[in-house]
């Protein structure tokens, strides 16, 4: 039977609601990472305090969970924020509400605000931990205002989570403070039982360019740092995304053939994913440039998902008319996976013939809730 997501992709219209919904619960943050677009002290124009104080009300979160459950399609929730989700006073109730639905739950966090034993026992399936440095010196350079004690707290919390078997993926955003540590990040990942180490070249703007990796660092990363990190990862058995990171570094060095070619891959996110901000703006993906609508005026999520604004975005992207930020697509790996699945289905469709494909589509439609 054709996967209903694939059926929708082939048809250009979704057959079911999203599988993954990303919910921002707060703009407030306990950190001030130098690369952050919202909280960095390097920003030319800091965000207003009123913006930083905004958070999603608990009753709104629970109502959203009910609404998403009614769609019948959701399998996974990501809890994060433009700030740090673990500073929300109701976050452990949010975790319980998501897990009560039987959904997979990922939390994106720097961990420092965690009640670590409670978090470890909460049933969360995966943590994407913003580590950002594997020595006290680099960690405190990346996190102005934090001290060595915070670095050792992070290490202690990672150890607890590792011992409890909670899946932790380490995120390392590479800038001038961290570039020389890419090899040691693999060792740090192994030490704390990371299920993967994810590297990402810092995406910088509005003043944060001041902390960009230098040309010398980029050249070293391409010639030595990444190959050494790859070799160590293979030796220690630590999964990484170093292939993708190498392409990012090559692109930053001005080798355009190495950029991530989203136009060759296509965008499947309009059929599987959405992000909802603290202000209840509904986004097409993690790219804040791609805005669909708002729930703040009482609109229902399902009406937006199947409505004209969302469809116009799907049609625009299907026609190859991408947004500026798509060149740095944060969902590139997921889009590649969907393109692979779709490619296989397309081949299958040719073998089946158009009539059988149509019959298959109709059968899928009847089977949908
Ligand atoms: S950044 Fe562009 S290509 Fe990537 S998921 Fe968003 S809309 Fe799609």
Which CATH topology does 18-264 take? TIM Barrel (3.20.20)
What the block records as the tokens of 111 is 């961990």
| Cβ 182 vs Cβ 174: under 8 Å | yes
- In angstroms, rounded to a whole number, what is the distance separating the alpha carbons of residues 77 and 84? 16
Give the pLDDT of residue 343.
76
Residue closest to 132 by CA, chosen among 191, 161, 173, 71: 173
In this structure, the dihedral spanned by the alpha carbons of residues 201, 28, 277 and 266, taken in order and rounded to 10 degrees, is: 0
Residue from 270, 272, 288, 317 whose mutation best tests the ligand 1 pocket (most atoms within 8 A of CB): 317
Distance 267 CA to ligand 1 centre (A): 6
pLDDT tens digits along 342-361: 875 554 443 334 444 455 45
Distance 90 CA to ligand 1 centre (A): 31
Residue from 267, 291, 315 whose mutation best tests the ligand 1 pocket (most atoms within 8 A of CB): 267
Distance 359 CA to ligand 1 centre (A): 31
Q: Which atom of ligand 1 is nearest to the CA of 328?
A: 1
Give the pLDDT of residue 339.
86
Ligand 1 contact, 269 CB (< 6 A): yes
Give the pLDDT of residue 131.
98
Neighbours of 265 (CB within 10 A): 19
Q: Which atom of ligand 1 is nearest to the CA of 267?
A: 8
Distance 332 CA to ligand 1 centre (A): 8
Ligand 1 contact, 339 CB (< 6 A): no
- Please state, in angstroms and as integers, the Cα–Cα distance from residue 53 to each residue in 47, 56, 67, 206, following that order: 10, 10, 26, 21
Q: Which atom of ligand 1 is nearest to the CA of 323?
A: 2
Q: Which atom of ligand 1 is nearest to the CA of 286?
A: 6
Ligand 1 contact, 220 CB (< 6 A): no
What residues does 22 pair with on adjacent strands?
A: 78, 275
Ligand 1 contact, 55 CB (< 6 A): no
| Cβ 127 vs Cβ 106: under 8 Å | yes
Q: Where are the domains positioned within the chain?
A: 18-264
Ligand 1 contact, 22 CB (< 6 A): no
Q: Which atom of ligand 1 is nearest to the CA of 335?
A: 5
Identify the residue whose C-alpha is closest to ligand 1 atom 4.
Answer: 329
Ligand 1 contact, 268 CB (< 6 A): no
| Cβ 71 vs Cβ 17: under 8 Å | yes
Counting as low any pLDDT under 50, the low residues of the chain are 256-259, 347-357, 360, 368-369
pLDDT tens digits along 7-21: 999 889 999 999 999
Distance 327 CA to ligand 1 centre (A): 8
Ligand 1 contact, 262 CB (< 6 A): yes
Q: Which atom of ligand 1 is nearest to the CA of 325?
A: 1
Q: Which atom of ligand 1 is nearest to the CA of 269?
A: 5
Residue closest to 245 by CA, chosen among 323, 178, 155: 178
Give the pLDDT of residue 344.
57
Ligand 1 contact, 336 CB (< 6 A): no
Ligand 1 contact, 287 CB (< 6 A): yes
Distance 268 CA to ligand 1 centre (A): 8
**pTM, full prediction:** 0.89
């Amino acid at each position: 039977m054709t996967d209903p997501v694939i059926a929708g992709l082939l048809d250009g219209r979704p057959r079911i609601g999203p599988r993954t919904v990303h919910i921002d619960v707060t703009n407030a943050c306990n950190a001030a990472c130098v690369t952050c677009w919202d909280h960095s002290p390097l920003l030319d124009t800091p965000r207003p305090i009123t913006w930083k104080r905004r958070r999603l009300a608990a009753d709104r979160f629970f109502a959203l969970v009910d609404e998403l459950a009614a769609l019948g399609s959701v399998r996974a929730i990501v809890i994060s924020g433009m700030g740090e989700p673990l500073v929300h006073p109701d976050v452990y109730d949010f975790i319980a509400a998501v897990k009560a639905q039987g959904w997979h739950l990922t939390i994106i966090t720097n961990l420092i605000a965690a009640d670590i034993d409670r978090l470890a026992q909460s049933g969360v399936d995966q943590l994407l931990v913003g580590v950002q440095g594997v020595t006290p010196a680099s960690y405190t350079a990346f996190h102005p205002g934090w001290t060595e004690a915070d670095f050792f707290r992070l290490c202690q919390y990672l150890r607890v989570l590792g011992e409890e078997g909670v899946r932790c993926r380490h995120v390392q955003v590479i800038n001038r403070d961290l570039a020389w540590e890419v090899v040691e990040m693999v060792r740090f990942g192994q030490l704390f039982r990371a299920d993967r180490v994810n590297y990402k070249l810092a995406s910088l703007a509005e003043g944060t360019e001041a902390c960009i990796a230098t040309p010398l660092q980029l050249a070293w990363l391409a010639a030595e740092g990444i190959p050494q990190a790859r070799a160590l990862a293979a030796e220690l058995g630590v999964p990484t995304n170093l292939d993708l990171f190498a392409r990012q570094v090559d692109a930053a060095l001005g080798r355009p053939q190495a950029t991530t070619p989203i136009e060759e891959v296509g965008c499947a996110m309009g059929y599987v994913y959405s992000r909802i901000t603290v202000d209840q703006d509904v986004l097409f993906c993690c790219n804040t440039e791609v805005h669909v609508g708002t729930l703040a005026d009482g609109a229902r999520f399902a009406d937006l998902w199947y409505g004209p604004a969302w469809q116009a975005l799907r049609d625009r992207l299907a026609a190859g008319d991408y947004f500026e930020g798509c060149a740095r697509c944060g969902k590139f790996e997921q889009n590649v996976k969907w393109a692979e699945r779709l490619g296989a289905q397309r081949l299958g469709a040719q073998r089946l013939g158009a009539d059988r494909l149509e019959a298959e589509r109709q059968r899928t439609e009847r089977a949908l809730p």
